[in-house]
């Protein structure tokens, strides 16, 4: 529990045996801040589940491969917490920075993104932690989100915190690469307060299933851009046509 609020952590993990035990143990070492750590073993063929359980996490299984599918399965185990934090299982984020996200959430933000880009401006990005195509894709997606909703976005960082009720209201659907951007885009479209905090990013342990291959990177890029396009188009349609409809329903005194 943190400042009177219950906190759950979801870690989607596909073949993260080299790193998952370290990730979970560092979160456990934060003590009573976290009420429950859930690792979703996403069709791993290594010892991910065994190592995560031994380190102190609750382990659930999602046989359908996909980042979003794993996150959704993990969320299902955390219906009794106030806030859910998402952490990757590759040890590219620092567990002791979790309170930075929680403090921003407690101060009014509904969704808090741990921004690696902001961290880089403060010297918190280890060389090689993001590949050139990751940087390019992240910059493009952030640019699109910023200009669609006129709110500064610098990163699609997977290290994030969101209130459980707000997450439920977003009605998350993406089951693969579009998960993180779906959450941000839907939150922005709904007018929720979305804050960013600078976080450290380090080189992951092991090879990324996404950025580690051109096929994975291309799939992620297509998924992210498609998701932004769909949510952006719906939001633009609503802004263009909902307001005139409301004005028609509520004529001003001068119209009568």
**Mean local confidence (pLDDT), 148-169:** 96
Give CA–CA dist 4/184, Å, rounded: 26
Max alpha carbon distance in the chain (Å)?
72
| Confidence band for 159, pLDDT divided at 50, 70 and 90 | very high
Instruction: Give the range among 57-71, 144-158, 184-198, 220-234 with minimum mean pLDDT.
Output: 220-234
pLDDT in tens, 21-54: 999 999 999 999 999 999 999 999 999 999 999 9
What domains lie within the chain, and their CATH numbers?
A: 7-245 (3.90.550.10)
| Confidence band for 154, pLDDT divided at 50, 70 and 90 | very high
Residue 249 confidence (pLDDT) above 60: no
Asked whether 213 and 136 are in contact (CB, 8 A), the reply is no
| Confidence band for 8, pLDDT divided at 50, 70 and 90 | very high
**Mean local confidence (pLDDT), 57-79:** 97
Asked whether 116 and 127 are in contact (CB, 8 A), the reply is no
pLDDT of residue 250: 53
Question: What pTM does this model have?
Answer: 0.89
């Amino acid at each position: 529990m943190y400042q009177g609020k219950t906190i759950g952590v979801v870690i989607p993990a596909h073949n993260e045996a080299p790193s998952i035990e370290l990730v979970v143990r560092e979160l456990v070492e934060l003590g009573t801040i976290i009420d429950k750590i859930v690792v979703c073993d996403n069709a791993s063929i290594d010892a991910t589940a065994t190592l995560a359980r031994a380190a102190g996490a609750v382990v659930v299984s999602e046989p359908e491969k996909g980042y979003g599918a794993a996150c959704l399965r993990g969320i299902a185990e955390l219906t009794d917490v106030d806030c859910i934090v998402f952490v990757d299982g590759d040890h590219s984020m620092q567990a002791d920075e979790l309170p930075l996200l929680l403090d921003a959430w407690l101060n009014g933000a509904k969704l808090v993104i741990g921004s690696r880009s902001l961290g880089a401006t403060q010297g918190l990005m280890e060389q090689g932690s993001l590949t050139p195509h990751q940087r390019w894709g992240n910059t493009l997606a952030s640019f699109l989100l910023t200009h669609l909703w006129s709110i500064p976005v610098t990163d699609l960082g997977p290290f994030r915190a969101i209130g459980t009720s707000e997450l439920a209201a977003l009605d998350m659907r993406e089951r693969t690469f579009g998960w993180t951007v779906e959450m941000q885009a839907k939150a922005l479209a709904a007018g929720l307060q979305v804050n960013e905090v600078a976080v450290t990013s380090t080189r992951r342990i092991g090879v990324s299933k996404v950025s580690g291959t051109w096929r994975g990177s291309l799939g992620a890029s297509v998924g992210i851009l498609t998701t932004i396009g769909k949510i952006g188009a719906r939001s633009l349609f609503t802004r263009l046509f909902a307001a005139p409809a409301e004005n028609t329903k509520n004529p001003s005194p001068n119209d009568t």
